[in-house]
Amino acid sequence: MDSTTTASHNAERQGITGTPEQFVLGNRFPKTSTNTQQGQSSTNTGYKKTSSAKYNVELLKELANDFGYLLNRTDISDCWLNVNDTYMAVHQCVLAARSNTFSAIMSGNNSKLDPDIKKELQTLHKNDKLVIFIKKTDPEIMKQVIIFMYTAKCELNETNAFYLLDAAGRYDIKSLKVYTAQFLINHINRHNILRLIESAYIYNNILLKQSCIDYFIDHGREVMDVSELWKPFAEKYPAIVSELLYWTVHKDENRERVERSQLQSQW
């Protein structure tokens, strides 16, 4: 195959995986599978001689593109997510690999799941496929969650970041927890810190939790001055407030703890 043909096929695949949305079928249960694959060719990736690190990055990009392509293969999906009556075609093996919650639901080993989450994610089998009902996540947010599980990237902005953070915790998707936390720690302010720290504690998002503690140490008075937010939070989460105040008083201990944690993570 010549380089022109190779480039053409690569561009075609990039176009398919750039906005993988064919798996979202709207508010109808599919009666028959539709083959969305228009032809798959074996192509030479044509890697040029380059550094090992750069080559590894290119391989990861290729993997993400391939999984984005798989996301549009509704004809070989074995699972439907019914997200508030919007059906999304997915593959059990991908969801199980990326989400501890979905893995537990699919394997039946869900005794350790939060009762509220277990109650939400009811299942049934229909037309030889598993159907999982999702009621507490908006379809547009769930679409981005699925795209992330397949491709390790999704649309992330100040409007949807909180909802993606909640979904990452609810479905225990570790890499999405980090992805959303890294975005949100750059947008912490006195008006949103309590919402962030609530999520961080509920879902044990360590990165976000520590960033919120650090922010509170430096801006605690400003946070508490927003009384319409602080008062109900303090009444609902006295244990969290106690911890925040403890680290505010023991700043040096907190700094040493963070440095020790960072050092351990390097080994």
In a domain, 171, yes or no: no
The CATH number for 198's domain is 1.25.40
Domain-located, residue 178: no
In a domain, 12, yes or no: yes
Over the chain, what is the mean pLDDT?
Answer: 83
Among 52-56, 81-85, 175-179, 242-246, the minimum mean pLDDT is found in: 52-56
Quote the pLDDT of residue 265: 45
In a domain, 150, yes or no: no
Name the domain boundary from 134, 158, 177.
Answer: 134
pLDDT recorded at residue 43: 43
Q: Do 104 and 12 sit in the same domain of this protein?
A: yes
Task: State the residue range of the domain holding 11.
Answer: 3-134
Residues 82 and 192 in one domain: no
Residues 120 and 44 occupy one common structural domain: yes
Q: Is residue 85 part of a domain?
A: yes
What does the DSSP assignment read for the chain? --HHHHHHHHHHHHHHHHS--TTEEESS--SS--------------PPS--HHHHHHHHHHHHHHHHHHHHT-GGG--EEEEETTEEEEE-HHHHHHH-HHHHHHHHT--TTS-HHHHHH--EEEETTEEEEEE-SS-HHHHHHHHHHHHHS-----TTTHHHHHHHHHHTT-HHHHHHHHHHHTTS--TTTHHHHHHHHHHTT-HHHHHHHHHHHHHHHHHHHH-HHHHHHHHHH-HHHHHHHHHHHHTHHHHHHHHHHHHHHHT-
115 within a domain of the structure (yes/no): yes
In a domain, 157, yes or no: no
What's the pLDDT tens digit per position in 22-69?
777 666 666 655 444 443 344 444 545 567 778 788 888 888 888 888
CATH number at residue 119: 3.30.710
Number of domains in the chain: 2
pLDDT of residue 55: 76
Q: Are 112 and 201 in a shared domain?
A: no
Question: Which residue did the predictor score with more confidence, 127 or 222?
Answer: 222
pLDDT, tens digit (0-9, with 9 covering 90-100), for 98-150: 999 999 999 988 888 888 888 889 999 998 999 999 999 999 999 999 999 99
**Domain for residue 147, yes or no?**
no
